Amino acid sequence: MDVIGLYKELPRKNCGECGVKTCMAFASAVVKEGANVRSCPYLAPEKADALAGTVGGRDWKLELIGNLTKEVAELNLAETAKRLGGELTGDKLIGERIRFLCLGRHYFLDAAAQVTTDGPLSPWEKILILIYVKTGGSGPLDDRWVSFEILKGGGVKVEQIVREVEEPLIEMFSKSEDATAKAVSRLGGRLVEGQPSDMAWMMPLLPKVPMLLLFWRADEEFPARVKVLFDRSADRFLDVETIMYVGEGFVKALERFLR
C-alpha cells in the first residue's frame, strides 16, 4: 500500500497524538520509514492489524529508545546530573535517579537509563530525555539570547520554527492573551523584564535549554507578533532537530491547557 492509500484508511483527525502533526505525515512515516501503524490511537485494533499486514509494523520509536537506552546506561549518574542541570535524588529502596524538569513536568532517569514520570509517559517523551542525556553537553549557559537560525544547523530550519512554533503562539495569544499567558506560567514560564516586547517569559524547555518567548500585541500599525529566542549555548546540549521538537512540544502542551 502506498502513502495515499494508507492515508485514505486513516481517521484523518490530524490530532498529533501519534507523534507527527498530520495524518498524511503519519502515513508517510509508516510507508517510507517503517513506523508502526498501530501508533494511531483512533484506528480500531482489528483494522490496524489488517493494515499492518500491508505496510509493515516496525516500531522505529521503540528501536530508537532501545539503542539510546544502551548508550545512556553506560553514563555516570552523578556526572550527568551535574553537566545537564539535573538533580540527583533517590534512596536505598529505589536507587539513585536524576530528576529533570521539562515543560513543567518532572522526569526521572535511573542507572539503567529507564525514564519515568508521574502519570502517562509517551515514547516521544522518553526519546527527548534520552537524547538530552546522550548529547551530553557541558559548561554554563552563554547568557546571550539568539534567533534559532544562529544555532548550528538552524538556518535551514528557521521557516519550520516560524510555522510550527511562532505562528501557533500568535494565534493562541490573539484568541485569548490572558488564558495563554496563564498557560505559559503553568508550564514553568517566568515573566522577565527589560525586553523590547510587550510581554516576555523565560521558558525552561530543559534545564540547559531555556527559551525566551517574546510577545507583541497588535496595534493600529502592526499585527500581533511572537519571537522565540534561545541561549547561544543551546546547540551544545541538543541538536536543532530536537530543539525544534521540544519547541513543538511546548506548543502542544499549551494547546492542551487551552482546550
Q: Residue 212's beta-bridge partner residues?
A: 202, 229
The label of the residue with cell 546522550 reads 134
Cα–Cα dist 18/178, whole Å: 30
Domain residue spans of the chain: 3-58, 62-135, 145-258
Rounded to two decimals, the pTM is 0.77
Mean pLDDT of the chain: 91
If pLDDT is split at 50, 70 and 90, which confidence band does 17 have?
confident
The residue type at 147: S
Cα–Cα dist 76/229, whole Å: 31
The continuous run of DSSP H or E covering 211 comes out as strand 209-216
pLDDT in tens, 146-180: 999 999 999 998 999 999 999 999 999 999 999 99
- Say if residue 141 is exposed, middle or buried (CB neighbours under 10 Å; 0-12, 13-18, 19+): middle
Q: Please state the rounded mean pLDDT for residues 131-159.
A: 94
If pLDDT is split at 50, 70 and 90, which confidence band does 59 have?
low
Give the model's pLDDT for residue 57.
52
pLDDT in tens, 103-119: 889 999 999 999 999 98
Cα–Cα dist 103/180, whole Å: 15
DSSP-assigned states of every residue in 134-174: HH---S-----EEEGGGSTTGGGGHHHHIIIIIHHHHHHHH
Give the model's pLDDT for residue 58.
57
CATH topology of domain 145-258: TATA-Binding Protein (3.30.310)
DSSP 157: G
Cα–Cα dist 56/19, whole Å: 18
For 3-58, CATH gives 1.10.15.40
